[in-house]
Amino acid sequence: MKVKGHSVPTRALIWLIISFGILILPQFDRLPLWLTAVCVTLGGWRWLAQLGHLRLPGRLLRTAIMLATVALYVITVNGRFSVDTAASFFVLAAGLKWLETRASRDFYVLFFILTYLAAVNFLFQQGIGWTVVNLIGVVCLLIGLQVLNAPTLAGAIRASWKRLGMMTLKTLPIVVLLFVFFPRMAPLWSVPLVSDRGTTGISDTMTPGSISDLAQSSERAFRAAFGGAIPVHRDRYWRGLILDRFDGETWDQRDDAAFIRPGRVALDGGIGELESNQYDVLMDATNQYWAFALENSVAVSDNVRVGPGDLFRFKRPADTSVRYRMAVEPAGANLEGSTSLTDLDRRRYLQLPPTGNPRARALAEKMRQKTHGARELAQSILERFRFDEYFYTLRPPVMPENGIDNLLFDEKRGFCAHYASAAAFLLRAAGVPARVVVGYQGGEVVGKSEYVLVRQYDAHAWVEVWLSDAGWTRMDPTAAISPDRIESGLRDAMAEEGSFLANNWTSPQRYGDLAVVQWASLYLDRINYQWQRWVVGYQGQSQMDLMSRLPGGVGLRELGYFSAGLVGAALLIAGLFSLWQQHSGRSRDPYSRLIQRWHRLLERKGLGIEPGDTPEQLARRVGDEYPAAQKPAAAFARGLNNHYYGVSHKALRHARKQDLARMRRLLAVFRTALHQTDKRHQKPR
């Protein structure tokens, strides 16, 4: 009878294990392999123990396992602190807790850990599919809780689903209203980065060849929606960053961004109507500071700032997807366009390693003598690329030493990074300031010019050259060698070679000739885009934009009041409803209804009912007043007694209906008897 710290029922535990499995799914590509293995082992161990095939480890072994895994964790994390490492820790804690889920208390600890893990998962994955996966995980947790709390109830699982469904349905309007109206205030303080490893997309160094790794990836980089017409493919140069220092092999940035404490999470770009020269970029997480923008863009939303070289930067690495808004201004309106180059900058953009690539240097010198001015020089370099036998390939040969010489004179086969590097080298060697720009080029138009979808394989490198009359001017050697790449994209450029996504079997983009695959992949992306834009992207600025369409000045404070009022009103309505239900709802127990009717009858006849009266006492009193009604009253009272104090009901369940019918008849007989007595009493008077 005294059951404390009861064990966890199997039916509840299975839901917890399922939920654990579902909730680590969104983490699968981040978790260290050993951690996944540990979790699977420990979860399996717990399950086998529940089935009785294995015993749970004793305290000593448990401590040993805990120490070993925590040590492994500390080594893996190596002092880094981000949501990523914290999430791994959650997973580890949940995994270890499996060995200790003996009582329902432990069940709750796991419930809390897993619920928060589900929330953390949303920092990593915000697609509609992952959202559904995450919510299913949470639902499984809630089902498990219900089973845990009513382990002996028959049909508990089905009832749990139904109950949860009803609860969600009933509260959904409030949830939606809160989602829309809850004040989306600015971040209260800086929080750790979601992830500080595995930056994705373009890196801030370029060793010719490195971009070709990206060319094998069809991951999404960003999506851009335009207010006006979408620029044609060859004009879609998305500048990301400038590489200005060359050491003979690798291009990188001179002023390495020193460690900056990551600021608060940036607000979103807003959802107001796009003007014809504006565009919205919805960028996936890169864990980098830079934003991508078309040439001659200025920032519209305040989550990006312009930096040197007309590049745009976030205040905090894009650790989750971020949306920003830009506007294209007429050429020359940008900051650097027409100003002259300082001596410092001139030196910087002419920098070359003192030795190496002698043939290229000689060529540059020859070209400089042959041409007049920078523009002509650049032109002649492009002509050389265009008319000589240079090839654009995703399978460039390895050129370890004097790579530029090798490319220009021997191999003549390379990727955009090779040619950009070579062109910049030639320009600098000839005394013309030049720099390498990396970013993306092109992108696929989705739907009826709904947005441009830019993938990692659209990564590109080109050159900007300083012309004293026009400032920095784009010069893309790849366009000279493989116009297809610039006009219509990498897929067409590589059609002959057949190397497009050759190593990426799982990418739908690889199967470009299968229209259905293409259509399905793009359709999914469109759904996700709308999801990202309207649900995921509904943040501070978007909310304000939406609210500004309402009459009256609606600020965060008003929204706060409104939300509080909303919750209060909902609670009030729910409370009133339940009160009403209780007052209006008659008792469903047929016997108590019979008693109520009986009492009403008696009261009408002026027989007062005291709280402690038993049916038999009442019957006796009835008998005293109305002798004719005595018999049915007594029988009725006996029937009641029998019902309430007779043999346990289960034994008599089959007889219930008959019994109830008999009681009803008795009450009817009693009533007529009572009335007849009444009349007789009245006549003499």
Partner 1 sequence: MVKALRRRWSRWVHKRIPRSDTQRCVQRNIFILPTGAGVVFAFLLVIMLLTAINYQNSLIYLMTFLLGAVFVAAMHQTHRNLSGLELALIKAGEGFAGDDIPFTFRAAASDENAAAIQLSTTDRHLEHQNVLAGEPLDLVFLVKSTARGYLGMDQLRIETRFPFGLLSAWSWLRPVANGVVYPRPISPPDKGMSSTEGDDESEERSADGHDHAELRPWRTGDLSQRVLWKRYARSGDMIIAHWEGEQGSPQWLDYGAFPGVDQELRLSYLSAQVLEREKSGHPFGLRLPGQVIDPDGGAAHKVRCLRALALFGVPNPLNRVAA
Which residues are catalytic, by number? 416, 460, 476
Of residues 306 through 365, those in contact with partner 1 by CB under 8 A are: 320
Q: Is 151 in the site for partner 1 (CB under 8 A)?
A: yes
Q: Choose, by CB under 8 A, the member of 37, 119, 362, 527 that binds partner 1.
A: 119
Spatial CB neighbours of 605, under 8 Å, sequence gap ≥ 6: 625, 626, 674, 678
How many helices (H) and strands (E) would you count in the chain?
A: 23, 19
Spatial CB neighbours of 142, under 8 Å, sequence gap ≥ 6: 160, 164
Contact (CB, 8 A) for 427 and 434: yes
Part of the chain binding partner 1 (CB under 8 A), chosen from 41-49, 171-179, 196-204, 242-250 = 171-179
Q: Is 441 in the site for partner 1 (CB under 8 A)?
A: no
Part of the chain binding partner 1 (CB under 8 A), chosen from 201-209, 517-525, 568-576, 670-678 = 568-576
Of residues 637 through 676, those in contact with partner 1 by CB under 8 A are: 638, 641, 644-650, 653
Question: For residue 338, which amino acid is it?
Answer: S
Of residues 403 through 422, those in contact with partner 1 by CB under 8 A are: none
Q: Choose, by CB under 8 A, the member of 39, 87, 145, 454 that binds partner 1.
A: 145
Q: Cβ closer to partner 1: 294 or 536?
A: 536
Closest CA to 611 of 599, 622, 623: 599
Of residues 573 through 632, those in contact with partner 1 by CB under 8 A are: 574, 578-579, 582, 585, 587-589, 592, 611
Q: Which helix (H) or strand (E) is 655 found in, with range?
A: none
Contact (CB, 8 A) for 244 and 428: no
DSSP, collapsed to helix, strand or coil, labels residue 453 as strand
Smallest distance from the beta carbon of 583 to partner 1, in angstroms? 9
Q: Is 101 in the site for partner 1 (CB under 8 A)?
A: no
Q: Cβ closer to partner 1: 112 or 561?
A: 112
Part of the chain binding partner 1 (CB under 8 A), chosen from 25-33, 443-451, 506-514, 532-540 = 532-540
Q: Is 265 in the site for partner 1 (CB under 8 A)?
A: yes
Q: Is 89 in the site for partner 1 (CB under 8 A)?
A: no
Q: Cβ closer to partner 1: 370 or 657?
A: 657
Q: Choose, by CB under 8 A, the member of 218, 310, 537, 601 that binds partner 1.
A: 537
Q: Cβ closer to partner 1: 34 or 108?
A: 108
Spatial CB neighbours of 575, under 8 Å, sequence gap ≥ 6: none
Smallest distance from the beta carbon of 168 to partner 1, in angstroms? 7
Smallest distance from the beta carbon of 171 to partner 1, in angstroms? 4
Q: Is 461 in the site for partner 1 (CB under 8 A)?
A: no
Part of the chain binding partner 1 (CB under 8 A), chosen from 123-131, 270-278, 378-386, 496-504 = 123-131
**Rounded Cα gap, residues 639 and 646, in angstroms:** 9
DSSP, collapsed to helix, strand or coil, labels residue 111 as helix
DSSP, collapsed to helix, strand or coil, labels residue 157 as helix
Binding mask 176-215 for partner 1 (x = CB under 8 A): --xx--x-xx-xxxxx--x---------------------
Q: Is 540 in the site for partner 1 (CB under 8 A)?
A: yes
- CB count within 10 Å of CB 59 equals 8
SS (H, E, C) 476-533: CHHHHHCHHHHHCCHHHHCCCCCCCCCCCCCCHHHHCCCHHHHHHHHHHHHHHHHHHH
Binding mask 267-296 for partner 1 (x = CB under 8 A): xx----------------------------
Rg (C-alpha) for the chain, rounded Å, is: 38
Q: Is 389 in the site for partner 1 (CB under 8 A)?
A: no
Q: Is 108 in the site for partner 1 (CB under 8 A)?
A: yes
Strand order in the sheet with 451-455: 297-299, 322-328, 278-283, 220-226, 451-455, 444-446
Contact (CB, 8 A) for 100 and 106: yes
**Rounded Cα gap, residues 440 and 202, in angstroms:** 9
Q: Is 104 in the site for partner 1 (CB under 8 A)?
A: yes
Q: Which helix (H) or strand (E) is 474 found in, with range?
A: strand 471-475
How many residues form the binding site for partner 1 (CB under 8 A)? 86
Q: Is 3 in the site for partner 1 (CB under 8 A)?
A: yes
